[in-house]
Structure 1
Amino acid sequence: MNALDDLKADLVKLRGEAEVQVHLATMEAKQEWGNIEAKWNRFVAEAGLHKSGEEIGTALQNLGNELRDAYRRLKKAL
């Protein structure tokens, strides 16, 4: 596995945990969830593109890191 695969596996786990907690959360948390989900959908859509260039891979890695931080913030807030 490469770093991007490891990041994706971490995101899948964090996303699942956060999703369960959001169902019990406040409206503010649900809005945050909506914002994070938009980024998640972008990450998934572009995940296959990391092989087509280093620049895209770097951008995808940054987006993944941003997602991981957002899931952790949301989980901590709940």
Structure 2
Amino acid sequence: MSALDDLKAELAKLRDEAKVRVHLGTMEARQEWEEIEAKWNHFVSQAGLHKSGEDIKSALRSLGDELRLAYQRLKNAL
């Protein structure tokens, strides 16, 4: 499994945990969830392209790091 696959698995787990908490949370949390979901969808759609170049890998890692922080922040806020 590649580092990008590991990151995707970690993000999926954080996403699932945050989704449960958002469902029980506030409207503000739901709005943040919608923003994070848009980034998640972009990440997933681009993840298969990581083999096509180092620039894309770097961009995906940055987006993945941003998603990790956002999911953790949302999870901790609820």
1:73 alignment counterpart: 73
TM-score normalised to structure 1 length: 0.98
Which amino acid in the other structure matches residue 67 of structure 1? L
CA RMSD of aligned residues (A): 0.5
Alpha-carbon deviations, 1:23-68, whole Å to 9, x = none?
1110100000000000000000000010000000100110011001
Equivalents in 1 of 2:75, 2:22: separation in Å? Answer: 8
Distance (whole Å) between structure 1 residues aligned to residue 6 and residue 54 of structure 2: 17
Aligned AA for 1:17? Answer: E
Runs of 4+ residues over 3 Å off in structure 1: none
Equivalent residue number for residue 15 of structure 1:
15
Write out aligned runs for 1:26-45 (5 A): 26-45=26-45
1:58 corresponds to 2:58:
yes
Query: What's the TM-score, normalizing by structure 2?
Result: 0.98
Aligned to 1:25: 25
* Structure 2 portions without partners, runs of 5+: none
One-letter amino acid matched to 1:61: R
Instruction: Report % sequence identity.
Output: 72
In 1, Cα distance between equivalents of 2:33 and 2:19: 8
Offset of residue 2 of structure 1: 1.4
Equivalent position amino acid for 2:76 in 1: K
Aligned length: 78
In the TM superposition, what is the alpha-carbon distance from 1:3 to its structure 2 partner? 1.1
